[in-house]
Amino acid sequence: MREQPDQRKPILYYCGIVIILMLLLNIFVFPSLLQAQVTEVTYDQFLSLVEEGKVTEVAYQDNQIQFIAADGSSRPAFYKTGVWPWDDGLTDKLLAKNVTFAAAIPTQASPLMSLLISFVLPMLFFVFVGRWLMNTMTKRMGGTNALTLGKSNAKIYIESQTGKTFADVAGQDEAKEALTEIVDFLHDPGKYADIGAKLPKGALLVGPPGTGKTLLAKAVAGEAKVPFFSISGSEFVEMFVGMGAAKVRDLFKQAEEKAPCIVFIDEIDTIGKKRDNGGISGGNDEREQTLNQLLAEMDGFDGKKGVVILAATNRPDILDPALLRPGRFDRRIPVELPDLQGRLAILKVHAKNVKMDSGIDLSAIARATSGASGAELANIINEAALRAVRMGHHTIHQSDLEESVETVIAGYQRKGAVISDKEKKIIAYHEIGHALVAAKQKHSAPVTKITIIPRTSGALGYTMQVEEDERVLLSREDAMNQLATLTGGRTAEELVFHSITSGASNDIEKATRLARAMVTRYGMSDQFDMVALETVTNQYLGGDTSLACSADTATKIDAEVNAIVKQAHDTARDILSANMDKLHELAAYLLEKETITGEEFMKILDEKAEENK
């Protein structure tokens, strides 16, 4: 932890060194520099110089004769010699040659000159060297100058540098519409000022990670063709204590000079957290100061000038309410996960940058990637391109895309994984169990793929189901169907091997979460009716929940969740027991092929049904 005085230390240090160096120079170096060169000569040489008429001035000083002689060059030369006490006629000789008698020969430079040379010059020298040193150090330390405290290192992006426009952002039409107004305002602030309309000072982009919030902010700058100041929340809270607030001040000063412009604060939650989390440590003062400064700046500047503040976060729930007050980030722009149309559009945008086979069906990929973010979709296209290269294709094939979807969802295939035949058999039955329960229930999403090739994510196999059309509502029947399907894997193990394995742990987790949500949030249990027993605290990241009920109720919730899962498990058991022959048949087929498609699965399922008739 750094403390306030620390940052001063280098400056004091530096001053001390300069003073010591200057003293040393003054004592040892300058005196000799300032002293004129004085040549010592013998007395007879002195006499002959007088004879030749070259001596112009003499003086008696410190038991020595000092004199100046013109030696032909432009500058007078200084000499000295000893005194010869018996030479009585010296005065006459000197008078005869018109030599001037002086009180002293000025071998020292003038006091002004000496002040200049011994003090001002070194001072200037050190200032320059110091500056240069500071600058190089600063650059190495990442751009925050300790002397000029508070120059921010907000990067300035101009249109050509972000290079992004709304065309790069697929889907997100509502967000784009909301931002278009801001772009228009930046193009022509006067139009708004004429009517007296004030645009919101700030807009907050909220949504899960990877949905294109940063991309949208850059696109706004690109569309408006104005300077774009971008800084990430974490950059404020760095290096020196007290720097964050200074940076905010400086950022807004720069922005006001460059208006109209955009200030973009990415991941604002790092500085914008609620301020009440005091605790034992007394909270994070540094962060609070930064936040206070930000609030003050937002209130301080004139909204009509054309500075628009954009911010992005995926934790809107933890933001300080003061930030969301009118006059600050009062406009909230949701940037949600893309729906089917959005996913297709995003895939198309990113497909433009790669070479695709002509027969590619992107909509199939869009359908198979429900819940994927824009960043994940971009990643899927890139993974497909990488796979195409690996496979020696010249363009991306549909198979590359399909494999890439699985890679992004479940990780890479673990080709080298050694799994015993016995365990492979269990995994095959487990997966067919899921698929069969799904297929035998009405309204389940169709099975599209079953595989028992293990993945790097730890999945030993999986069953892929893809909804035919996008759903936004989950009915109670849907939920119960999903639960039965989730328990189907374990149920198949029970029925066939009469033992159970740890392979169902992921299914169990998912089933528990779904059943719990049905009870506590969806109001789908008879016992509690429409009572919210849990609230979601972290909507966009993982969806943490916090319990909002008594301990007694919590116990009842657990019992209810238990009952729901048990009921689903029973349903799965009924379905599989009634279709044991198909379970065996399909499991054997999967064991042989390792991966089967939805069509193959349905074909075997239907064939069997007809034979039985």
Sole binder of ligand ADP in the list 200, 210, 260, 316 (CB under 6 A): 210
Work out whether 230 is an interface residue with ligand ADP (CB under 6 A). Answer: no
Q: Is 489 in the site for Zn ion (CB under 5 A)?
A: yes
Per rule CB under 5 A, is residue 461 in the interface with Zn ion? no
HSE value, Cβ hemisphere, 13 Å, CA-based, for 242: 10
Binding segment for ligand ADP (CB under 6 A), chosen from 195-203, 212-220, 500-508, 520-528, is 212-220
CB 291 within 8 A of CB 272: yes
**Partner whose binding site includes residue 489, from ligand ADP, Mg ion, Zn ion, none (CB under 5 to 8 Å by kind):** Zn ion
Residue 608 contacts by C-beta under 8 Å, 6 or more apart in sequence?
Answer: 581, 582, 585
Please, which residue, 209 or 543, has the CB nearer to ligand ADP?
209
Binds Zn ion by CB under 5 A, chosen from 376, 507, 534, 560? 507
What does the per-residue mask of binding to ligand ADP show for 399-428, with x meaning CB under 6 A?
A: ------------------------------
Q: Which residue in 494, 420, 409, 508 sits closest to 459, CA to CA?
A: 409
Collapsed DSSP state (helix, strand, coil) of residue 447: strand
CB of 243 to ligand ADP, least distance (A): 25
Cα 32 to Cα 40, 107, 467: the distances in Å are: 16, 11, 93
For residue 371, state whether it binds ligand ADP (rule: CB under 6 A): no
Choices 410-418, 445-453, 483-491, 571-579; region in contact with Zn ion by CB under 5 A: 483-491
Q: Which residue is nearest to ligand ADP (CB)?
A: 374
Q: Which range of residues in 192-200, 205-213, 248-256, 427-435 is near ligand ADP by CB under 6 A? A: 205-213
**Does the active-site annotation cover 431?**
yes
- The entry of Mg ion, ligand ADP, Zn ion, none near residue 147 (CB within 5 to 8 angstroms by kind) is none
Q: Specify the stretch interacting with Zn ion by CB under 5 A; choose among 281-289, 486-494, 554-562, 583-591.
A: 486-494
For ligand ADP, the binding residues in 159-178 under the rule CB under 6 A are 169-172
- Torsion angle (degrees, nearest 10) of CA 397, 590, 447, 370: -50
Query: CA 122, 124, 130: angle at the middle one, nearest 5?
Result: 100
Residue 189 contact among Zn ion, Mg ion, ligand ADP, none, beta carbon within 5 to 8 Å by kind: none
The end-to-end CA distance of the chain, in Å, is 78
Kindly identify the residues of this chain, within the stretch 377-436, that bind Zn ion according to CB under 5 A: none
At 227, which amino acid appears?
Answer: P
The one-character DSSP state at 498 is: S
Q: What is the DSSP string of 311-359?
A: EEES-GGGB-GGGGSTTSS-EEEE-PPP-HHHHHHHHHHHHTTS-B-TT
- Those residues whose C-beta lies under 8 Å from the C-beta of residue 311, and which sit 6 or more positions away, are 202, 203, 204, 205, 264, 265, 266, 268, 272, 329
Using CB under 6 A as the binding rule, whether residue 134 contacts ligand ADP is answered as no
Q: How far is the CB of 217 from Mg ion (least distance, A)?
A: 8
Q: Which is nearer to Zn ion, 269 or 507 (CB)?
A: 507
Q: What single letter denotes the amino acid at residue 493?
A: E
Q: Report if residue 222 touches ligand ADP, rule: CB under 6 A.
A: no
Buried b (16+ CB within 10 A) or exposed e, 17-43: ebeeebeebeeeebeeeeeeeeeebee
Q: Confirm or reject binding of residue 488 to Zn ion (CB under 5 A).
A: no
In whole angstroms, the minimum distance from the beta carbon of 211 to ligand ADP comes to: 4
Q: Which does 375 bind (CB under 5 to 8 A by kind): ligand ADP, Mg ion, Zn ion, none?
A: ligand ADP
Cα separations in angstroms, 494 against 39, 490, 499, 569: 113, 6, 5, 11
Closest distance of CB 219 from ligand ADP, Å: 9
Q: Does 375 bind ligand ADP (CB under 6 A)?
A: yes
Take residue 224 and report the two structure tokens written for it.
Answer: 């408006």
Residue ranges that bind Mg ion, judged by CB under 5 A: 214
SS3 473: coil
Which of 288, 403, 431, 493 does the annotation list as catalytic? 431
Which residues of 62-154 form beta strands (DSSP E)? Answer: 64-69, 77-81, 100-101
Binding status of residue 212 toward ligand ADP by CB under 6 A: yes
Indicate which single residue of 118, 211, 463, 465 sits in contact with ligand ADP (rule: CB under 6 A). 211
Q: Does 493 bind Zn ion (CB under 5 A)?
A: no
As a whole number of angstroms, the distance between CA 452 and CA 593 comes to: 9
Any contact of residue 202 with Zn ion (CB under 5 A)? Answer: no
Question: Residue 168: which H helix or E strand, with range?
Answer: none
Task: Give the active site residues.
Answer: 431
Binding region for Zn ion (CB under 5 A): 489, 507
Binding region for ligand ADP (CB under 6 A): 169-172, 209-215, 312, 346, 349, 374-375, 378
